[in-house]
Structure 1
Amino acid sequence: MKKALLVIDVQESFRQLPIWAAISNPGIVDKINPLVEAARDADDLVMWVRHSEPGTGGVFDPVNGFVEYLPGLRPARGEYEFIKTSHNVFTTTNIQQILTTHGVGELVVTGIRTEQCCETTARVSSDLGYTTTFVTEATATNPVEHRDAPAGRSLDEILADPRTLPVADIIERTEYALAGRFATVATVEEALASWQD
């Protein structure tokens, strides 16, 4: 079965946010690149996705120049690139059409944020009938403030708040929610091995 590796939102926008200092996986590029090479070596698709919020004036507004890949990530000539404006990669792009055209039946999910765009994409992917692998080690997220927390707090205040959900809990919850329901949860090593089988 033909596979596609999704590299979701691994972009400069996130590094511009103060919460980046508490990111779960600052070396995410080093986790994704071996998967990119494995997919290319297997002649599978590598599909690059970035998130954009035009007109907002923030770090996801393309006019500010941060909707670019993190250093060390580079699409090869001919690889598909998508700009999305929703959490999952399907709703606001033509990715499903391209996957269908190429006969892809399996998706491997990586990117930022673990519980947000990556998890949402994995859920939709499963609902659309794709065999989905979620490579948690090749995702990253940040602590999440409680829904009632006041806006505009410093990183220290966010981290000191006992109601803030730490990254370990977010990652664990995501894996519990996905495994056996929407995706196979895999390590980088396991995902690489699947390309060698």
Structure 2
Amino acid sequence: MNRALIVIDVQESFRAGGLWETISDPKITDRVDRLVRLARRAGDLVVWVLHSEPGSGNAFDPALGHVRVMDELRREEGEPLIHKTAHNAFTTTNLQQLLTERGIRELTVCGIRTEQCVETTTRVASDLGYGVTFVVDATATNPIPHRDAPAGLSAAELLADPRTLSAQEIIRRTEYVLAGRFATLATVAELEAAAGAEA
């Protein structure tokens, strides 16, 4: 086994945070679960990463109970669970050590948010010399307010502002900046088809 699936921040914090209704794919757990099952069948390591902001009082504060894998997904015994406090999954964790100890050089990444923690992890992993597959349809994100928008917009206000960058545009731009530079892009179906061809 020299590959790992990194499941990034597919956690209940996002549902508790107030903007879940704007998420690009409310059923992201369906595709993430397909990737997890695919990785397990191949004998690949599955690593679960959760974002944590201790003491913040928000949905990412572990004291509030939302910093846990989304309820539809199941982590199996022996699959590492890592808590990070930075955007990427490497800087504040032992992820690189964990991967090095197992001889893993190929990563498949998925999770929430497309352009934030998943993209940032992809870029850092590429710079560290890992081959990275970014599974674009197993990521999700929210629209981003304009830099001059007031803080604390409701979902309705965010969507009503014509300056808001849509989730679909964020995903499209992320594909453009990662492909051929930091990662190979793939869909869940493409990876499933490739695994079937190898079997």
CA contact (8 A) 1:88 1:124 kept: yes
In structure 2, C-alpha distance between the alignment counterparts of 1:99 and 1:150, rounded to whole Å: 41
Secondary structure at the counterpart of residue 57 of structure 2: coil
AA in 1 matched with 2:159? L
1:159-170 correspondence to structure 2 within 5 Å: 159-170=159-170
Deviation at 1:192, TM superposition (A): 2.3
The equivalent of 1:128 in structure 2 is 128
Secondary structure at the counterpart of residue 135 of structure 1: strand
The equivalent of 1:98 in structure 2 is 98
Normalized against structure 1, the TM-score is what?
0.97
Mean Cα displacement is larger for which, 149-158 or 84-93? 149-158
1:33-112 correspondence to structure 2 within 5 Å: 33-112=33-112
AA in 1 matched with 2:132? T
Secondary structure at the counterpart of residue 105 of structure 2: strand
In structure 2, C-alpha distance between the alignment counterparts of 1:93 and 1:29, rounded to whole Å: 24
CA contact (8 A) 1:24 1:142 kept: yes
In structure 2, C-alpha distance between the alignment counterparts of 1:157 and 1:13, rounded to whole Å: 21
Identity in percent: 61
Normalized against structure 2, the TM-score is what?
0.96
Deviation at 1:18, TM superposition (A): 2.0
CA contact (8 A) 2:83 2:93 kept: yes
CA contact (8 A) 1:132 1:184 kept: yes
Secondary structure at the counterpart of residue 104 of structure 1: coil
Deviation at 1:189, TM superposition (A): 1.1
Unaligned runs of 5+ in 2: none
CA contact (8 A) 2:51 2:60 kept: yes
In structure 1, C-alpha distance between the alignment counterparts of 2:77 and 2:153, rounded to whole Å: 42
AA in 2 matched with 1:171? I
In structure 2, C-alpha distance between the alignment counterparts of 1:7 and 1:108, rounded to whole Å: 9
RMSD: 1.0
CA contact (8 A) 1:9 1:50 kept: yes
AA in 1 matched with 2:139? T
